[in-house]
Amino acid sequence: MSLKFFPDKVLRQICEPVKNFDAEIHELSRKMLVLMKINKGIGLAAPQVGITKRLFVCEIENKSLILINPRIIQTSGESKMTEGCLSLPEIRVNIKRSNRLLLNGFNPWGKEMQYEMTGLWARVVQHEMDHLNGILICDYGKNRQNKKVKKDRQDAMEI
């Protein structure tokens, strides 16, 4: 398993819902968490490893979240923050996002979960959900990056 980098076409695909909550999904989410940590990220969506399933992982302050088929139910508040992305390592974009989210989805065992997220958690979830819909940070507003991103990715670790 390895990271995919812009302009890889998989990053622009809209992901399909997960239908089977099986050993394959458990192993995928475990490997994604490991790869994310090795590359010093706080979030990673399935298309970033070449898989077009609606699944992402994130970890902030040693608390992990694996969310499958996520859906934002409600948002409130707004703040701007500069974001980076493991799939666009040289790009930083100032993005306005909601401060608070109410969302639901499934854990790897197929149990439906509901979360209220605020602050950095809300931001990371929105960033990862963008990935599931083929949206990248370079797509936001006046910060659009039109230049080619370097293809030399020797710093990205694989598992």
CATH number at residue 96: 3.90.45.10
Could you tell me if residue 79 is inside a domain?
yes
CB 149 within 8 A of CB 91: yes
Rg (Cα) of the chain, in Å, rounded?
15
157 domain-assigned: no
| Residues ≥6 apart with Cβ < 8 Å to 148 | 7
Full residue range of the structural domain in which residue 63 is found: 9-143
Number of domains in the chain: 1
Give the residue among 87, 37, 38, 27 at the shortest CA–CA distance from 63: 37
In a domain, 156, yes or no: no
SS3 category, 54: coil
Q: What is the pLDDT of residue 90?
A: 87
82 falls within a domain: yes
For the chain, which ranges sit under pLDDT 50? 143-155
33 within domain boundaries: yes
* 81 domain-assigned: yes
pLDDT at res. 28:
97
Residue 16 is a catalytic residue = no
Each residue's pLDDT tens digit, 98-118: 999 999 999 999 999 999 999
Catalytic residue among 27, 59, 78, 128: 128
Of the CA atoms within 13 Å of residue 38, those in its CB half-sphere come to: 14
**Cis-peptide into 17, omega within 30 deg:** no
